[in-house]
Chains A and B, each alone.
Chain A
Amino acid sequence: MSTLTATGKAARSRTARPGVPGGARPRRRSLRRLPLNLAALFTLALTVFPVYWMVITAFKPTTAIQSDTPSFLPLHPTLAHFGTAVHADGFGTFWRNSLTVTLGAVLMSLVVALLAAFAVGRMRWRGRRAFILLVFTAQMAPWEALLIPMYVIARDTDMLDKLSMLTLVYFMTTLPFTIVTLRGFLAAIPVELEEAAQVDGCTRPQAFRRVTFPLLAPGLLSTSLFGFITAWNEFAFANTLIIKNQDARTLPVWLSSFSNVFGTDWGATMAASSLFMLPVLLVFLVLQNRVTSGMTAGAVKG
């Protein structure tokens, strides 16, 4: 195997490309790379196919879905399944519930985490290491093992079937991670910038707000991205804490019981799945670019 040479070549070609003219050598290289590229294509197909299949099923007419030879291209696309999904009982309510819970949890944990990250990253105080240990431990918390006590506690405090309880739980599940990441982003911003602003007459909060905060914005965004995804996707607690009040259900729980809603209507099920996935995908796409550009623009971490 020519792993090494290929690696060396790839590394070199990445840095010194412009000088190489076309000719026999690139062709030989591309031929040698053929197995690698085929393997990559195969991996890509395995990676993408399930999602592709979901989307394409959602657009297929039912006759094409229930056919003995499946079609792999959208020949007669239809929006009928999306209509079925959107008009399913309570779809709008569940959508709103999910959004409320997710945004509430993400905003809460961003604010709380920003305070904590500042204390940990920019101040020296007794108990700082203990606090960091607490955050790390909380990040490792086996949440799946807490379903039962959380259910009992929610029941005792009359918080069962309430979206606020779910918001609090999601706030806590995303908080440790948010603190750790924000602290990382904060550490990447030179403290000298803040000090310079203080020398120029800013108070400490002002220096933070005017200098550090704008530089931290990409970090806040990407952190909220992960928080959003965690809360939006969460199933176990939503399934345990919302039981009687069906109107307070969130999308994952609703979707998990799709067979009760759509029966064997796979087109509608896949349409509902696609609609559920859409916000996550959008958040990913929008923030992914902004975050990477923000990171490179800041160029602090080098």
Chain B
Amino acid sequence: MLTASDTAPRPAVADPPPPSRGRRRRRSLAALWPYLLVAPTVVGTAFLLVYPLVRNTVMSFQHFGLGELIRGGATWVGFANYRTVLDDPEFWTVVRRTLWWTGLNVVLIMVLGTLIALMLNKLGKRMRLALMSGLVLTWATPVIAATTIFQWLFQSRFGVVNWLLVKLGFASYRDYTWFAHGGSTFAILVTLVVWQSVPFAALTLYGGLTTIPAELYESARIDGAGAWETFRLVTFPMLRPLFALITSLEVIWCFKCFAQIWVISEGGPNGATTTLPVYAFQIAQSLHKYDLGSAVSTLTVLILLGALVFNLRRMFREEGAQ
């Protein structure tokens, strides 16, 4: 892919014939072009990404409350904010909850996504098209539209889920208020995130499945491999990079999921759905402790750093392989 341009003999670094002065000037001008082309990106990143990150880090080492926000003049406090956050047992509860939330979502997404991808691969043409259209429809549903839909589905009085559960014989779900209980709100949020994330995983994995040569399956069949063995010995090894990619992306996405949780429960009831991004936002926006919020944000990024660096290394390795 990229080799074509890499081997292209264009702005060669060292050309044998000695260039005249005018040509040299033109060449040095030409050498500037790539830098001019990437300049807008670099400037944008500096102002809109690097600066906020730096500001966040600086704020986490300052005393920065409502007063400092309005009047300025924040004072340096060293690691005091981090000590406050790390000494708070609630922070650790939130960390544990976030890990549980991320793990549960990612496992469900990957298992369901894989199953649906395998199913797509085996379906007839028409059924496959129908299911793929359904997945695309789900994928296309905006997060906020989905949150309103789920609030309606699980509404206590006229919600269709309660109606269905009562019909199925679970009479205790008549007028059940899902969003008043921590556990059920958590479950609904997991359902929502999984429902929205599975299409990406399933369609991407299906795309990968179609690239596996049929001969591999054929020879596995001749060797007498069963369904599970085929998946373990043929499908999974072939798609390992794709699995790694999707898993790491889903880990990042689920870990920093904010909009769904904030809109449906704002972290409640009783903090049962407060994950780290929600926690940081609550501290900063509701309690006006911007310093503590920044410290939590920084810690969130640090916890996520493993997954982020893994992803970055993978991207860069692919880059080098090209």
| Complex: A282 Cα to B186 Cα, angstroms | 32
Question: Judging by beta carbons under 8 Å apart, are B121 and A145 in contact?
Answer: no
Number of B residues whose C-beta is below 8 Å from A? 102
A20 within 8 A of B: no
Question: Judging by beta carbons under 8 Å apart, are B49 and A138 in contact?
Answer: yes
- Among B10, B44, B284, the residue within 8 A (CB) of A148 is B284
B316 within 8 A of A: yes
Given contacts A1-B226, A115-B37, contact A146 B52 (CB under 8 A): yes
- Among B51, B153, B157, B221, the residue within 8 A (CB) of A50 is B153
Question: Judging by beta carbons under 8 Å apart, are A10 and B122 in contact?
Answer: yes
Given contacts A48-B134, A118-B37, A192-B4, contact A112 B51 (CB under 8 A): no
Question: Judging by beta carbons under 8 Å apart, are B148 and A144 in contact?
Answer: no
The A-contacting residues of B in range 58-77, CB under 8 angstroms, are 59, 64, 69
Distance in Å: Cβ of A268 to nearest Cβ of chain B: 11
Residues of A with C-beta under 8 A to B5: 121-124, 187, 191
Question: Judging by beta carbons under 8 Å apart, are B44 and A270 in contact?
Answer: no
Given contacts A11-B217, A146-B56, contact A269 B119 (CB under 8 A): no
Give the segment of A73-81, A89-97, A216-224, A235-243 that binds chain B: A235-243
Residues of B with C-beta under 8 A to A179: 41
The A-contacting residues of B in range 118-173, CB under 8 angstroms, are 118-119, 121-125, 127, 130-131, 134-138, 140-150, 152-153, 155, 157-158, 160, 163
Question: Judging by beta carbons under 8 Å apart, are A8 and B122 in contact?
Answer: no
Question: Judging by beta carbons under 8 Å apart, are A51 and B122 in contact?
Answer: no
Distance in Å: Cβ of A213 to nearest Cβ of chain B: 15
Residues of A with C-beta under 8 A to B160: 53, 70
Distance in Å: Cβ of B47 to nearest Cβ of chain A: 8
Given contacts A144-B277, A153-B51, A172-B45, contact A119 B138 (CB under 8 A): no
Give the segment of B81-89, B100-108, B236-244, B300-308 that binds chain A: B300-308
- Among A57, A65, A145, A252, the residue within 8 A (CB) of B256 is A145
The A-contacting residues of B in range 232-256, CB under 8 angstroms, are 252, 256
Question: Judging by beta carbons under 8 Å apart, are A281 and B2 in contact?
Answer: no
Question: Judging by beta carbons under 8 Å apart, are A50 and B195 in contact?
Answer: yes
| Complex: A143 Cα to B258 Cα, angstroms | 10
The B-contacting residues of A in range 149-203, CB under 8 angstroms, are 149-153, 155, 168-169, 171-172, 175, 179, 184, 187-188, 190-192, 195
A232 within 8 A of B: yes
Question: Judging by beta carbons under 8 Å apart, are A273 and B37 in contact?
Answer: no
Give A184's nearest chain B residue, CB to CB: B1
Number of A residues whose C-beta is below 8 Å from B? 109
Question: Judging by beta carbons under 8 Å apart, are A8 and B217 in contact?
Answer: yes
- Among A119, A122, A144, A148, the residue within 8 A (CB) of B290 is A148
A5 within 8 A of B: yes
Give A235's nearest chain B residue, CB to CB: B259
- Among B38, B44, B226, B290, the residue within 8 A (CB) of A172 is B44
| Complex: A175 Cα to B49 Cα, angstroms | 11
| Residue from B127, B142, B143 having most chain A Cβ neighbours under 10 A | B142
The 0/1 profile, CB within 8 Å of B marked 1, for residues 246-261 of chain A is 0000011001101000
Question: Judging by beta carbons under 8 Å apart, are A128 and B263 in contact?
Answer: no
Question: Judging by beta carbons under 8 Å apart, are A142 and B300 in contact?
Answer: yes
Question: Judging by beta carbons under 8 Å apart, are A4 and B262 in contact?
Answer: no
A107 within 8 A of B: no
Chain A interface helix/strand/loop/mixed = helix
| Complex: A280 Cα to B139 Cα, angstroms | 10
Given contacts A150-B52, A284-B140, contact A4 B147 (CB under 8 A): no
Residues of A with C-beta under 8 A to B217: 4, 7-8, 11
Distance in Å: Cβ of A241 to nearest Cβ of chain B: 11
Residues of A with C-beta under 8 A to B121: 7, 10
A88 within 8 A of B: no
Question: Judging by beta carbons under 8 Å apart, are B42 and A134 in contact?
Answer: yes
Query: Besides A10-B123, A40-B131, A136-B312, 16 other CB < 8 A contacts?
Result: A7-B217, A50-B146, A54-B152, A113-B41, A116-B40, A121-B5, A124-B10, A125-B35, A128-B34, A145-B280, A175-B44, A233-B144, A235-B262, A266-B155, A273-B145, A277-B141
Q: What residues of chain A have their CB less than 8 Å away from a CB belonging to chain B?
A: 1-8, 10-12, 14, 33, 36-37, 39-41, 43-44, 46-48, 50-51, 53-54, 57, 65-70, 112-113, 115-116, 118-125, 127-129, 131-138, 140-153, 155, 168-169, 171-172, 175, 179, 184, 187-188, 190-192, 195, 229, 232-233, 235-236, 239-240, 251-252, 255-256, 258, 266, 269-270, 272-274, 276-277, 280-281, 284, 288
Q: Please give me the 8 A-B residue pairs with the lowest Cβ-Cβ distance, nearest first.
A: A3-B227, A119-B37, A172-B48, A235-B259, A149-B56, A125-B34, A145-B297, A47-B134
| 9 contacting pairs across A/B (C-beta < 8 A) | A43-B116, A47-B131, A123-B11, A136-B319, A147-B281, A150-B52, A152-B59, A256-B263, A269-B148
